[in-house]
């Protein structure tokens, strides 16, 4: 099976050869974090081995049946009940393994089931030997490879009592004899042997803290002695196999080592921190890995910090221990992380980062073949068969392995899901669950019940990873009338900076030759020019940014608190100026009347309304309607698209608010419809916050209905009364229903991200009203504010809206964007814009969604909330990299094929249709210009020729006196103009 | 007031700075931190500290309203005005005592987004290995709120 890897291997080695020279082992891993990858889909190399594991002690039960002896864990826990009853129900276990469809089954042999008192010289217990023979035989029958761990912590109690267990050197010899027996007895059928599982935990917990069996505590040297003997025992077993069994059995032998992962505190990769991180790794995995995979001796840092207590290997021993494995077997689980966090973090931060561990092992131990022998988390005992969170933890671990394999080139050849069954989890007993199959420990029959994580793992194994479900990238353009826009929140009234021009009517005398002073000429007043929009300096600066993005559509909100009938006319003028300037630049505005935001303490409402209870009070509706009519009247000439309220569904906490917000929209819409539409011809809508949700557990009907419930609440409660079908009660009267019906000209959606949704497990809380619990998929790439990047969520959202409301009304995505901390190179946002627009195109082209626009949220950063295409004014409004990306997409109007990359020019639809001649002229502009030039110069030439001919004929002298006179007359006037007068600007 | 109970002055508004003032008798006020629920009390050396349990003798301040609308609080032990300056700074009594102006809380009630952002940052920092949800997949408060960037525009 290693053959499959050879191509991969050589590739990796070539890559590696170049970078290996960097000094200091692996420390560069913390200096240069792994490539941030958005890799979400991908399959593992063919031949990748999927497996599932169990351990004898937590699952077998029957602790003294059929002549089994007592192990240190039997004594330590005094646990006598049947656990998962696997000794009896092993066939059920294999049925579960078969269901999962895995390639291998990893289990451990119970030493005391084979040699009850550990005495290998005695006869083995036939029942025990028979049990494992049957198990292995049946696995072979099912074509599932057995991966056998010889020792998973359940040392015979007799050995503990007689020799002191692993504190005694002779235990290693007894262990070697035991392994020899196992190799001889079962080896013909076994390809993968693990001598022992996670000796780090056994040494520390069993002989140090006493949290594990045998529970020895006291002497700080004990863990190191135990570890020393464990390492010897492993080496003996490997040499035995290598010498006597390998030739016939052709198996591979390794030892499973546990690891945690540490990162520099606060992400500060200073040399001291890096050293401490390296030290932390060496104190846990390095303790056992360095003798076997590295120098043959303990890591220097460990020896230095434990001088006197850590035993020494002789030079001969070092050579003998070094290289005693055939592949690297790694465990990454909670227990090692916990112990590592407690004992070996050196002030740094412990992280749940499997990918980094894999890369660290790759870099530190010369790129070994690697089996992930244990990986997984746990659930609380109360969690039943619906273990949704476990799904996402497993998904995350496996995705990290995938990234390590495909991005970093780590040679992982197998993954073990941990574990098959709930069991008696060592010192935690029944308080945690780790299985893919659930067991009710209060019932004697111990039935295995499928958890949803088992469904998930089964599908994953079948798919060999995460094949792309999404439709591949499509090529195509958005039509010319598609609105590529930028969206802003409230555009504050900026009366300052204000630079009035030509407002001084005085005439001044400028004494240039004297003291250079300007003095007004009394009695003379000039006409000044009327006030101009250019006086508001803010507008030009602001709209300049918009021009840089190349988008011809701009959405912003008016500040309700500043605008009211009878209010300051200067503020009205400011917004009119904005709109006029937009028109001048050919940018179409989408204007929001009311954009609530936490930026304003009254949530964007005029103070008086806010004080009266805001939207809970019906008077807000009337106030809004008169404000809306005022705005339609004042600004309607320039605005063809209105949004009444932005995200009313985010604002409301109570039903009355919902109702009043909806009423406000409807009444405003009616007023527009009756009084303004005919003249202004615009469209009015309200923008709904429409993030997509996926059922958290895709295998459960209850989660699918939670999804529908959530969407109906979030989107439906506003759109249903307006454009939905009948049957949306919502407590409205019949008259209201009629009034609401159809009060919407297009569907405006603000879409940012996708979440997971699940029903509440227990009683529903009062808040939130949608009655669902939200979750997040930790494998989705996410922004600094944990906003997940899920492009296909947009397409599904659009599809859902289309399915629910038909395609009568066009849809516009009125805000969409992501925060990105990067000052300039905003990779995340670039990826967001590209991928979300791509999904928008798919929705249009493949699903037939009537999508008309896409507005990026937002133009400019506001302090440290970094959603902007430009940095904040305080940071000099610098464009980020996504600006040019967006500009590029706009100029190509989407994603044209490589063969058709020329920018597509769209003529303005309105003027283009008016006359055919105009379009002809416009098309042939250069030609026309050229011909006009030619004809003019030709006629000029003609005239010149005629004139010169005429002059030659006359040949009469010309009187020059009048010319001279003219020069003399002009001179004093010039002198006056230069010397005395100037108009003060 | 920090979660460990230490009390200092701060030039910037933070969640820790929000204190809830309650009058228990005429002129007597109990002060509690909104974020940590610790009571503001004085210890034997008259230093301010936060503590979990309320005791009348240590945690009831006398409030003096000054002419300008500010108020100062008298320590229950020494009846001297309390000061937010660090006692270690050597300015012990010579420092001007702190005056206080009760203001509407703009840090917590209207500023949900701050809390959210802080929660998120908290999750990024530390991993709880004793939880069956160490990565914060579900059921945390900041996930339960449907966050919208267009509403949460930070001030």
* CATH number of the domain enclosing B23: 2.80.10.50
Helix (H) or strand (E) holding B111: none
Helix (H) or strand (E) holding A965: helix A961-979
Q: Which residues pair with A851 in a beta bridge?
A: A811
- Give how far the C-alpha of residue A866 lies from the chain's centroid of Cα atoms, to the nearest Å: 16
pLDDT value at residue A870: 95
The SS3 of residue A971 is: helix
Q: What is the largest CA-CA distance in chain A?
A: 145
Q: Could you tell me which residues come within 8 angstroms of residue A693 by beta carbon, excluding any fewer than 6 positions away?
A: A707, A710, A711, A754, A755, A756, A757, A772, A774
Chain A residues near residue B145 by CB distance under 8 angstroms: 768
The SS3 of residue A331 is: strand
3-state helix, strand, coil in chain A (%, to 5): 45, 15, 35
How far apart, in Å, are the Cα atoms of A834 and each of A576, A738, A793?
Answer: 34, 42, 14
Min CA distance, B16 vs chain A (Å)? Answer: 20
Min CA distance, B144 vs chain A (Å)? Answer: 5
Residue in B120, B149, B155 closest to A599 by CB: B155
How far apart, in Å, are the Cα atoms of A933 and each of A889, A917, A918, A922?
Answer: 37, 20, 20, 17
User: Which residue in A338, A375, A389 has the most chain B C-beta atoms within 10 A of its own C-beta, making it the best mutation to test that interface?
Assistant: A389
Q: Give the whole-angstrom CA distance, residue A567 versus residue A627.
A: 11
Chain B residues near residue A756 by CB distance under 8 angstroms: 138
Min CA distance, A910 vs chain B (Å)? Answer: 32
The CB density around residue A689, as the number of other CB atoms within 10 Å, is 24
Helix (H) or strand (E) holding A75: helix A72-77
Alpha helices by DSSP H, listed for A724-790, are 734-740
Asked if residue B146 belongs to a domain, the reply is no
Q: Give the whole-angstrom CA distance, residue A985 versus residue A503.
A: 9
pLDDT for residue B114 is more than 70: no
Pair type for strands A145-151 and A192-197? parallel
pLDDT value at residue A20: 35
Name the A residues in 345-374 with CB < 8 Å from any B CB. Answer: 349-352
Q: Give the whole-angstrom CA distance, residue A588 versus residue A576.
A: 14
Q: Give the whole-angstrom CA distance, residue A257 versus residue A280.
A: 15
* Torsion angle in degrees (nearest 10) through CA of A270, A274, A276, A280: 150
Neighbour-count burial of A220, counting CB atoms closer than 10 A to its CB (0-12 exposed, 13-18 middle, 19+ buried)? exposed
Chain A residues near residue B134 by CB distance under 8 angstroms: 352, 377, 393
DSSP A193: E
A260 touches chain B (CB under 8 A): no
pLDDT value at residue B126: 63
Asked if residue B57 belongs to a domain, the reply is yes
- Chain B residues with CB under 8 Å of a chain A CB are 106, 110-113, 117, 120, 123, 125-127, 129-130, 132-139, 142-155
Phi/psi of residue A371, nearest 5 degrees: -110, 130
Contact B134 A377 (CB under 8 A): yes
Total domains, chain B: 1
A516-539 burial: b if 16+ Cβ within 10 Å, else e: eeeeeeeeeeeeeeeeebebbebb
Q: Give the whole-angstrom CA distance, residue A289 versus residue A256.
A: 10
CA angle A822, A825, A830 (to 5 degrees): 100
Asked if residue B147 belongs to a domain, the reply is no
Q: Tokens in use for A437?
A: 């199959």
pLDDT value at residue A729: 54
A379 touches chain B (CB under 8 A): yes
Residue of B nearest to A378 (CA): B132
Q: Determine contact, residues A509/A882, Cβ cutoff 8 Å.
A: no
Residue of A nearest to B111 (CA): A598
Residue in B120, B129, B132 closest to A389 by CB: B132
Asked if residue B46 belongs to a domain, the reply is yes
Residue of A nearest to B118 (CA): A785
Q: Give the whole-angstrom CA distance, residue A889 versus residue A550.
A: 10
Residue in A351, A392, A857 closest to B150 by CB: A857
The SS3 of residue A413 is: strand
Asked if residue B143 belongs to a domain, the reply is no
User: What residue ranges in A173-226 does DSSP mark as E strands?
Assistant: 192-197
Name the A residues in 471-500 with CB < 8 Å from any B CB. Answer: 487, 489
A851 touches chain B (CB under 8 A): no
pLDDT for residue B34 is more than 90: no
Q: Helices H, strands E: what count in chain A?
A: 36, 32
Contact A775 B137 (CB under 8 A): yes
Contact A714 B136 (CB under 8 A): no
Residue of A nearest to B132 (CA): A379
Contact B138 A773 (CB under 8 A): yes
Q: Give the whole-angstrom CA distance, residue A911 versus residue A923.
A: 13
Edge-to-edge strand list for the sheet holding A772-775: A692-695, A754-759, A772-775
Q: Could you tell me which residues come within 8 angstroms of residue A804 by beta carbon, excluding any fewer than 6 positions away?
A: A715, A716, A719, A724
Chain B residues near residue A379 by CB distance under 8 angstroms: 132
Q: Could you tell me which residues come within 8 angstroms of residue A22 by beta carbon, excluding any fewer than 6 positions away?
A: A28
Q: Could you tell me which residues come within 8 angstroms of residue A843 by beta carbon, excluding any fewer than 6 positions away?
A: A794, A795, A798, A799, A849, A851
Chain B residues near residue A487 by CB distance under 8 angstroms: 150
pLDDT value at residue B23: 75
Asked if residue B108 belongs to a domain, the reply is yes
Min CA distance, A341 vs chain B (Å)? Answer: 9
Helix (H) or strand (E) holding B105: none
Report which of A144, A67, A139 is spatially closest to residue A110, judged by C-alpha positions: A67
A758 touches chain B (CB under 8 A): yes
Report which of A39, A45, A38 is spatially closest to residue A1, judged by C-alpha positions: A45
ipTM: 0.75
pLDDT value at residue A33: 67
pTM for the whole structure: 0.79
A·B CB contacts under 8 A: 129
Q: Give the whole-angstrom CA distance, residue A304 versus residue A300.
A: 6
Residue of B nearest to A778 (CA): B137
pLDDT along chain A (985 residues), means of 10: 40 35 55 72 94 97 95 95 96 97 98 93 94 97 98 97 95 96 97 98 96 93 97 98 97 97 84 90 97 96 93 96 97 94 88 94 96 95 94 96 94 97 96 97 96 97 92 91 94 82 82 88 84 86 93 95 84 94 95 89 88 89 95 95 94 74 95 95 96 96 94 92 71 82 95 93 65 90 90 96 94 96 91 96 96 95 84 89 95 87 60 52 72 84 85 59 43 41 41
Residue of A nearest to B128 (CA): A338
- Print the domain residue range for B99: 1-85+95-125
Q: Give the whole-angstrom CA distance, residue A768 versus residue A783.
A: 24
Q: Give the whole-angstrom CA distance, residue A178 versus residue A190.
A: 16
How far apart, in Å, are the Cα atoms of A830 and each of A93, A281, A755, A794, A837?
Answer: 49, 36, 21, 16, 11
A780 touches chain B (CB under 8 A): no
Q: Which residues pair with A437 in a beta bridge?
A: A421, A450
pLDDT value at residue A119: 87
Min CA distance, B10 vs chain A (Å)? Answer: 20
Neighbour-count burial of A776, counting CB atoms closer than 10 A to its CB (0-12 exposed, 13-18 middle, 19+ buried)? buried
Q: Tokens in use for A314?
A: 């002789």
DSSP readout, A254-279?
EEEEE---EE-GGG---HHHHHHHHH
Asked if residue B152 belongs to a domain, the reply is no
Q: Give the whole-angstrom CA distance, residue A844 versus residue A851.
A: 6
Q: Give the whole-angstrom CA distance, residue A964 versus residue A954.
A: 23
Contact A393 B135 (CB under 8 A): yes
Asked if residue B105 belongs to a domain, the reply is yes
The SS3 of residue B6 is: strand
Report which of A342, A536, A460, A633 is spatially closest to residue A101, judged by C-alpha positions: A460
Q: Determine contact, residues A375/A354, Cβ cutoff 8 Å.
A: yes
Q: Give the whole-angstrom CA distance, residue A578 versus residue A590.
A: 12
Min CA distance, B63 vs chain A (Å)? Answer: 29
Q: Determine contact, residues A117/A158, Cβ cutoff 8 Å.
A: yes
How far apart, in Å, are the Cα atoms of A831 and each of A38, A725, A753, A886?
Answer: 9, 38, 14, 11
* Torsion angle in degrees (nearest 10) through CA of A782, A783, A787, A791: -60
Q: Give the whole-angstrom CA distance, residue A177 versus residue A310.
A: 26
Q: Give the whole-angstrom CA distance, residue A309 versus residue A302.
A: 11
Q: Could you tell me which residues come within 8 angstroms of residue A961 by beta carbon, excluding any fewer than 6 positions away?
A: none
A694-708 burial: b if 16+ Cβ within 10 Å, else e: bbbbbbbeebeebbe
A595 touches chain B (CB under 8 A): yes
Chain B residues near residue A392 by CB distance under 8 angstroms: 135, 137
Q: Could you tell me which residues come within 8 angstroms of residue B129 by beta carbon, excluding any fewer than 6 positions away?
A: A334, A337, A338, A341, A350
Chain A residues near residue B125 by CB distance under 8 angstroms: 349
């Amino acid at each position: 099976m290693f053959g499959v890897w050879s191509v991969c291997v050589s590739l990796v080695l070539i890559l590696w050869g170049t970078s290996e020279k960097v000094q200091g082992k692996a420390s560069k891993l913390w200096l240069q974090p792994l490539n941030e990858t958005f890799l979400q889909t991908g399959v593992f190399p063919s031949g990748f081995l999927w497996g599932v594991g169990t351990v004898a002690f937590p699952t077998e039960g029957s602790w003294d049946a059929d002549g089994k002896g007592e192990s240190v864990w039997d004594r330590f826990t005094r646990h006598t009940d049947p656990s998962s009853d696997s000794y009896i129900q092993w066939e059920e276990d294999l049925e579960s393994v078969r269901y999962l469809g895995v390639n291998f089954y990893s289990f451990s042999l119970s030493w005391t089931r084979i040699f009850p008192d550990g005495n290998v010289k005695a006869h083995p217990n036939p029942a025990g030997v028979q049990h494992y023979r049957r198990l292995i035989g049946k696995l072979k029958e099912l074509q599932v490879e057995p991966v056998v761990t010889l020792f998973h912590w359940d040392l015979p109690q007799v050995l503990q009592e007689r020799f002191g267990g692993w504190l005694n050197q002779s235990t290693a010899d007894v262990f070697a004899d035991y392994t020899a027996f196992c190799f001889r007895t079962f080896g013909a059928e076994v390809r993968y042997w693990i001598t022992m599982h996670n000796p780090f935990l056994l040494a520390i917990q069993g002989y140090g803290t006493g949290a594990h069996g045998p529970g020895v505590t006291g002497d700080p040297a004990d863990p190191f002695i135990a570890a020393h003997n464990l390492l010897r025992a492993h080496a003996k077993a490997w040499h035995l196999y290598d010498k006597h069994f390998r030739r016939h059995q052709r198996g591979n032998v390794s030892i499973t080592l546990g690891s945690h992962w540490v990162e520099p505190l606060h992400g500060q990769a200073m040399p001291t921190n890096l050293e401490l991180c390296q030290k932390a790794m060496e104190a846990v995995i390095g303790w056992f890995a360095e003798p076997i995979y590295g120098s043959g001796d303990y890591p220097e840092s460990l020896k230095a910090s434990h001088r006197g207590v850590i035993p020494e290997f002789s030079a001969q021993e070092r050579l003998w221990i070094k290289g005693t494995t055939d592949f690297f077997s790694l465990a990454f689980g909670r227990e090692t992380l916990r112990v590592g966090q407690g004992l070996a973090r050196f002030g740094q931060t412990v992280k749940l980062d499997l990918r980094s561990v894999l890369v660290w092992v790759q870099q530190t131990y010369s790129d070994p073949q690697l089996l992930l022998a244990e990986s997984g988390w746990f659930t609380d005992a109360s969690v039943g068969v619906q273990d949704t969170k476990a799904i996402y933890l497993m998904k995350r671990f496996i995705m990290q392995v995938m990234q390590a394999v495909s991005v970093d080139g780590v040679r992982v050849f197998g993954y073990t899901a941990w574990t098959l069954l709930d069991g008696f989890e060592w010192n935690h007993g029944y308080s945690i669950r780790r299985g893919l199959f659930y067991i009710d420990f209060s019932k004697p029959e111990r039935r295995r019940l499928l958890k949803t994580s088992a469904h998930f793992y089964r599908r994953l194994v079948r798919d060999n990873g995460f094949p792309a479900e999404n439709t591949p990238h499509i090529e195509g353009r958005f039509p010319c009338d598609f609105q590529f826009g930028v969206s802003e929140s409230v555009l504050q009234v900026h009366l300052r900076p204000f630079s009035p021009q030509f407002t001084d009517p005085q005439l001044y005398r400028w004494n240039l030759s004297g003291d250079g002073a300007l003095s007004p000429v009394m009695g003379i007043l000039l006409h000044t020019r009327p006030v101009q929009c250019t006086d508001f300096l803010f507008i030009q600066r602001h709209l300049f940014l918009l021009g840089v993005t190349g988008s011809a559509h701009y959405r912003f909100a008016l500040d309700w608190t500043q605008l009211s009938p009878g209010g300051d006319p200067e503020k009205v003028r400011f917004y009119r100026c904005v709109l006029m300037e937009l028109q001048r630049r050919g940018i179409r505005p989408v204007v929001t009347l009311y954009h609530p935001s936490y930026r304003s303490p009254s949530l964007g409402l005029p103070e008086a309304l806010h004080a009266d209870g805001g939207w809970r009070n019906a008077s807000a509706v009337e106030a809004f309607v008169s404000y809306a009519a005022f705005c339609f009247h004042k600004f309607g000439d320039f605005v063809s698209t209105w949004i009444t309220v932005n995200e009313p569904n985010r604002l409301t906490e109570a039903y009355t608010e919902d109702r009043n917000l909806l009423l406000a929209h409807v009444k405003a819409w009616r007023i527009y419809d009756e009084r303004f539409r005919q003249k202004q011809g615009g469209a009015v809508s309200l923008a709904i916050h429409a993030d997509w949700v996926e059922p958290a557990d895709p295998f459960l009907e209850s989660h699918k209905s939670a999804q529908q419930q959530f969407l109906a609440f979030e989107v439906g409660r506003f759109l249903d009364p307006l454009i939905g079908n009948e049957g949306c009660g919502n407590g409205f009267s019949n008259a209201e229903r009629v009034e609401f019906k159809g009060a919407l000209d297009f569907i405006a959606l603000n879409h940012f991200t996708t979440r997971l949704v699940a029903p509440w497990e227990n009683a529903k809380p009062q808040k939130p009203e949608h009655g669902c619990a939200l979750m997040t998929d930790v494998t989705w790439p996410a922004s600094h504010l944990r906003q997940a990047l899920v492009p296909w969520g947009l397409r599904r959202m659009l599809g859902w809206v289309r399915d629910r409301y038909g395609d009568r009304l066009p849809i516009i995505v009125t805000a969409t964007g992501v925060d990105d901390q990067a000052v300039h190179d905003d990779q995340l946002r670039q990826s967001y814009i590209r991928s979300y627009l791509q999904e928008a195109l798919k929705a249009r082209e493949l699903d037939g969604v009537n999508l008309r626009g896409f507005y990026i949220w937002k133009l400019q950063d506001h302090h440290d909330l970094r959603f902007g295409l430009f940095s904040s004014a305080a940071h000099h409004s610098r464009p980020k990299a996504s600006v040019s990306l967006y500009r590029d997409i706009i100029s190509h109007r989407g994603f044209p094929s490589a063969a058709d990359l020329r920018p597509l020019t769209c003529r303005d639809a309105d003027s283009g249709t008016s006359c055919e001649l105009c379009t002809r002229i416009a098309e042939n502009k250069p030609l026309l210009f050229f011909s006009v030039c030619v004809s003019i110069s030709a006629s000029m030439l003609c005239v010149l020729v005629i004139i010169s001919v005429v002059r030659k004929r006359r040949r009469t002298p010309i009187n020059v006196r009048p010319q001279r006179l003219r020069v003399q007359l002009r001179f004093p006037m010039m002198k006056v103009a230069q010397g005395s007068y100037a108009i003060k600007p | 007031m920090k979660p460990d109970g230490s009390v200092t002055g701060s030039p910037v508004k933070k969640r820790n700075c929000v204190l809830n003032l309650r009058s228990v008798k005429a002129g007597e006020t109990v002060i509690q931190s909104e974020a940590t629920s610790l009571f503001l009390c004085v210890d034997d050396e008259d230093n301010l500290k936060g503590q979990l349990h309320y005791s009348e003798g240590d945690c009831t301040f006398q409030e003096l309203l000054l002419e300008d609308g500010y108020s100062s609080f008298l320590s229950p032990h020494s009846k001297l005005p309390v000061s937010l300056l660090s006692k270690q700074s050597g300015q012990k009594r010579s420092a001007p005592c702190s005056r206080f102006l009760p203001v509407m809380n703009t840090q917590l009630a209207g500023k949900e987004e701050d809390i959210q952002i802080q929660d998120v940052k908290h999750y990024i920092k530390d991993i709880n290995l004793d939880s069956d949800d160490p990565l914060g997949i579900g059921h945390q408060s900041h996930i339960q709120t449907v966050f919208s960037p267009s509403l949460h525009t930070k001030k």
